[in-house]
Amino acid sequence: MSEKNSKELECSLLKNALTGNYIVDVNAIFKEAWQKTLQSRMSINIGLCFILLLGTLVSLTASNLMGGIEAVLKDQNAMSILNIVVTIVIWPFLAGVEMMGVLHARGQETRAIMVFSFLQRGSWVALCALLTSILVGLGFQLYMVPGIILAVLLSLTIPLVVDKKLSPLAAIKVSVLSLRFKFFQIFRLYLFLFIALLVLAMPVALLADSAIGPVAIMLFLFGMTFLAPLYYNVKGILYREIFAVKTKDREDNVNSRELNSSTPESTKASDSDDSNGSNGTFSA
């Protein structure tokens, strides 16, 4: 496809999302996401481990500079500053994990090193993450329901910033205007994932102080090696379904149709004549 046609297609697909012209099949998304999780969860898990270590290191370093972790926990302003610092540092890398889910949805393979692949958009990603966390936080402070609604509607802002190269404000606007059409289906996706997290965490909460507490923690960590990649694969497939990200097979089909449509009529006529001539020779 030419660059002009590609841009026109992207605009058309974005327009479809903004008008609600898409389908969210909860069961189909979960089934596909689970299959992709079984096939390629290692890259996401390794990437998340790196980000967890990075976030821990940044938190300890920043808290020590502010008087220690205990002082930070007692000071609400210091806690807010720490959250901002951690968000700015880890989200440019976490965007790579988000894009792994999108790439899986496209049928592409990923590697853990891809957490470094989208750092060129890091400043926009960090700003977008800060804005969305502030909006969601305000929603939860006002009432629980507005926070949940905003968390769902803003859940695809980071892929829009990275993949579509939108600004943070544009990504927030596009995400809200697009996801509002299928809010309840999308909410069901995240609700099922949240329930799965609660089920995994329940043994830890109940058995943490018992003799088998370490076993419960190990089971929780093992379950998270499936649930965390499942979450990002669900988001990637959801992003694909809403914003119609082209998969390799779909792009090959489009190129094939364009090639067939551009076949000269003279070639078709020549083929027809050759066919008639060969038939006549056979008859003779």
Contacts made by residues 75-80, CB under 8 angstroms, sequence distance 24+: none
- pTM beyond 0.75: the answer is yes
At residue 10, the pLDDT reads: 59
Residues in contact with 130: Cβ distance below 8 Å, sequence separation at least 6, in sequence order: 84, 87, 88
At residue 77, the pLDDT reads: 86
pLDDT tens, residue by residue, 198-223? 999 998 888 878 888 888 899 999 99
> Rounded to whole angstroms, how far apart are CA atoms 270 and 193?
59
Exposure string of 65-75, with b = 16+ CB inside 10 Å and e = fewer, is ebeeeeebeee
> Rounded to whole angstroms, how far apart are CA atoms 12 and 70?
53
At residue 258, the pLDDT reads: 44
At residue 68, the pLDDT reads: 82
Estimate the share of the chain in helix, then strand, then coil, as percent rounded to the nearest 5: 85, 0, 15
Q: What percent of the chain has pLDDT over 90?
A: 61
Q: What is the mean pLDDT of each run of 10 residues along the chain (284 residues)?
A: 52 76 92 94 95 94 85 84 92 95 93 93 94 92 89 95 93 94 94 95 86 88 95 96 64 45 45 47 38
With CA atoms as reference, report the closest residue to 59 among 79, 87, 86. Answer: 86
> Rounded to whole angstroms, how far apart are CA atoms 249 and 37?
20
Exposure string of 131-143, with b = 16+ CB inside 10 Å and e = fewer, is bbbebbeebeeee
The pair phi, psi for residue 117, each rounded to 5°, is: -80, -15
AA letter at 84: I
AA letter at 167: S
> Rounded to whole angstroms, how far apart are CA atoms 13 and 22?
10
